Amino acid sequence: MAARSSVPRDVPWPLLLGLGAAAVLAAVVLLATRDAPRAGRAQGRGFEATRPGSAASAAEPPRGMVWIPGGEFSMGCDDPRGRPFGGNDPMPDGRPVHRVHVDGFWMDTTEVTNDQFATFAAATGYVTVAETPPRAEDFPEAPAENLVAGSIVFAPPEGPVSLDNHYQWWTYVPGACWRSPTGPDSSIEGHGGDPVVQIAYDDAVAFATWAGKRLPTEAEWEFAARGGMTGSMYPWGDEFHPEGREMANIWQGPFPANNTAADGFVFAAPVATFPANPYGLYDMSGNVWEWCSDWYRPDTYARDARRSAQPLRNPQGPDTSHDPQEPGQAKRALRGGSFLCTDQYCSRYIVGTRGKGEVSSGANHIGFRCVRSPE
């Protein structure tokens, strides 16, 4: 198992195993027009018209899934700075915007819920990464009493803090896991319809395999999130609050100390609380981050562009992971942002932006949804 000393970027966490600062550095993704644009309407530089494939599958829809027609689209994002709610990150790993074709597939309409994951765990006896104590061989310098199962939890400071040190709002909590998302005193009782969190990459793969599904590629995820539209900033269009409506569960108020919960939620919301995109998919922006199958590299799109001028067909991502900020950590792509995203710190609720997560790390803002290829 990979050393559990890292999490997605913009949200590191102290493992508290007595390993020293260098060994516990983490990188958590998050962490860091009134009318919806129609298909074929180009937004920004480099975006060409989306050309959806077949409108429907002849097969009976699997329960809880919708058909995503596939087709050709422009993948990636422009620099969102200077646009309303665009944040202060240029998002360079989302460029160049490039053409991609994906075949049609089925996708879960919502993130996997606590109830669904509980059914899986009861049927298989599966134990998640967060429920498994760290191994002494992975942390030879850690005192034995510190080798306890747990995970990363958002812990807001009491007042304003500088945003250049994420250790001020993330902590490693013994006993935190999917059953107790913020620690032993928490519970998912009464929250069966919330997205399951504290899920490491292997946990998501295990559930998907059991369900006869798989995790989406980044290309599949983004095509689905765009809902047939061309280059829109959000899964619902280009206006952040169309007609004054809250469209996604993100952070409101001064980050990270005071979430005003103007959208009704401080933490994760029950799935499908906010409007679906044109393909019938909920929470493709905000709520919880979602694992994708691709290894993460910040230069993936640049490498792809050098490789071929033709549209990529069903790209699976790079063969290996590389994050210059943490070269030794294996990371997979994360998409969609979470309830902690804000234009003050992490505006990755914007479609086309990318996140990353160390594969053996979960947090209370990381979940997933599944896809299935047609038979």
- Over residues 48-63, the mean pLDDT reads 84
| Structure confidence at residue 3 as a pLDDT band (50, 70, 90) | very low
Contact 345, 365 (CB under 8 A): no
- Over residues 81-105, the mean pLDDT reads 96
Nearest one of 189, 115, 183 to 151, comparing CA atoms: 183
- Over residues 323-351, the mean pLDDT reads 96
Nearest one of 249, 266, 257, 216 to 68, comparing CA atoms: 216
pLDDT in tens, 273-317: 999 999 999 999 999 999 999 999 999 999 998 888 899 999 999
pLDDT for the residue numbered 294: 98
pLDDT in tens, 122-177: 999 999 999 999 889 988 888 888 899 999 999 999 999 999 888 899 999 999 99
- What pairing do the DSSP bridges indicate for beta strands 312-313 and 98-102? parallel
Cα angle for residues 340, 344, 350 (degrees, 5° grid):
65
Can you list the alpha helix ranges (DSSP code H) found in the chain? 21-24, 114-124, 201-210, 218-226, 300-307
Which domains does the chain show, CATH number per domain?
37-129+191-375 (3.90.1580.10)
pLDDT for the residue numbered 232: 96
- Over residues 324-344, the mean pLDDT reads 96
Contact 249, 301 (CB under 8 A): no
pLDDT in tens, 57-91: 667 889 999 999 999 999 999 999 999 999 999 99
CA distance 7 to 333: 12
Residues in a beta bridge with 172: 152
Nearest one of 287, 372, 366, 288 to 128, comparing CA atoms: 366
